[in-house]
Structure 1
Amino acid sequence: MTDEQIKGADPVVAAGVEKQLQGADVPTPQRIVVLSLIHRPPQRIVNYVQNILRRGDEAHVFVSRIEHWEEAELDPRPHLYPLDRPEEQLLVRRAERALVFRAPKAISNAAGRLADKRWGRPLRRPAELMSRAQPKASGAIHKRLFMPPYRAFRPQLLAKQFDTALSSIDFDTVDLVVASDVYTVTLAARLARLHPDVPVTTALEL
């Protein structure tokens, strides 16, 4: 029906036709949950979220570090959900810092204080060597011994750190969950178990 036909039709009929046309032109926005646990998200993931927003849909993004997503300056802005507590405050990370960095540094500092005493002169050379070697040794232990197994268990650890986010989203209204990187697969599996009616995918497609 053309605009002229609508204007010339019965007012009740014309109103009904216009309502139908308006409804056909305005699709219902989707609610899409995107999981992104790489600290600094790759541009392809940022672009995917931007495309969701530009299409008029809602983007709810689970993130490990909210500041990197805020730096992306997406417009309009997505809903961002950080970890319940920063990753650095997890027990395993705090224990690693204490054992690998703080304890050796404390020992090195104590040796340096002893070497400064008059009777501690024989310790000065070893204390200086220890002071120089300690940061490198701690860094090597962190990089080569701690991080490889931590990366393997990181998905399981972080999947349990989104209880606040999960309780703030009504998943009965969510249309899709997207696991955008390897670290989010465990979290996506958890959501699939909790909400079996919500589709879960790893494909960044609209």
Structure 2
Amino acid sequence: MSERGDEDVNGGPSPRVLILVLDSRSHKRDTRRAAGLAAYYLDEEGAEVDVVTAESRGWGQLDERARLHLLDKAEARHPLPWLERTIVSRVPRALVWPLKRLGRAGAVLDRAQTRASGIVHRRLFLPFYRHVRPLLLIRIARRHVDRAIDMAKVSRVIVIDDTSVPFAWRLARKHPGLTVTTRQVRTLEPEV
């Protein structure tokens, strides 16, 4: 690599690899796999590595040379989770708050409101959100990747988790010459 870090010893541009791990909550080993692949491509292939994820925890083992693109804050700002927090938790809490001064009756009402909000969140919203979240993450990731990563320089996209597959499929359609794979092969050679 040159001093600038963007060319290899042959004078050509460094290859760039994009690793997608949008939802690593379901499998903690996904972060280890992505960190291992990133280390390999950085050390052995001299590639630049970008990792796109919606989970901010569990990335301590990722090499600091790899660029980590976190989507969790953008997901939290999305209207759907915000609206759920407002309707299920904030508004009922604001309605019960003045009644907490009533002593024992107010405390019982406060506990009942907290319990009811938790039940609605766990039993109604979370099952629905599990189905909607991949689509929401696709939209957020598409905007972020378009702004932060020059896809013309990316030579390979590696998909680690199932949630990332629809986004990778859209990247493959938008950039027909791009190698998009779920195979975690440790080489940049084109697949046959």
| From 35, 38, 46, the counterpart of 2:20 | 35
Contact 2:55 2:72 in 1 (8 A): no
Structure 2 unaligned segments of length 5 or more: list them: 1-8, 187-192
Question: Which position in structure 2 is the counterpart of 1:101?
Answer: 89
Other-structure match for 2:119: 140
Matched-pair contact (CA < 8 Å) for 1:66–1:80: no
Pairs within 5 Å for 1:33-182? 33-38=18-23, 42-55=31-44, 56-66=46-56, 68-69=58-59, 71-75=60-64, 77-83=65-71, 85-113=73-101, 115=102, 124-125=104-105, 127-162=106-141, 163-182=143-162
Aligned counterparts, 1:7-46, within 5 A: 29-38=14-23, 42-46=31-35
Aligned-partner residue type, residue 146 of structure 2: L
Equivalent residues of 2:17, 2:47 under 8 A apart? yes
1:58-94 deviation per Cα after TM superposition (whole angstroms, max 9, x unaligned): 211112245643x33515x202223395211110010
TM-score (norm 2): 0.77
Q: 1:52·1:59 contact (CA, 8 Å) conserved in 2?
A: yes
Residue 189 of structure 1 and its aligned partner are, at CA, apart by: 1.7
Q: CA RMSD in A?
A: 2.6
Inter-CA distance 103–176: structure 2 relative to 1 (3 Å threshold): same
> Do the aligned residues in 2 keep the contact of 1:84 with 1:161 (CA within 8 Å)?
no
Contact 1:176 1:199 in 2 (8 A): yes
Structure with the bigger percentage of helix: 1
Equivalent position to 1:195, from 175, 180, 184: 175
For the pair shown, the structure with the greater C-alpha radius of gyration is 1
Alpha-carbon distance in 2 for matches of 1:134, 1:48: 47
**Count, aligned residues:** 172
Indicate the SS of the match to 2:152. Answer: helix
Q: Which 5+ residue runs of structure 1 have no aligned equivalent?
A: 1-21, 117-123
How high is the TM-score relative to the length of structure 1?
A: 0.72
Aligned letter for 1:38?
Answer: D
C-alpha change, 1:28 and 1:88, in structure 2 (3 Å) is closer
Q: What does the per-residue CA deviation read over 1:125-150, in whole Å, with 9 as the maximum and x for residues that have no partner? A: 2x322212222222222122111111
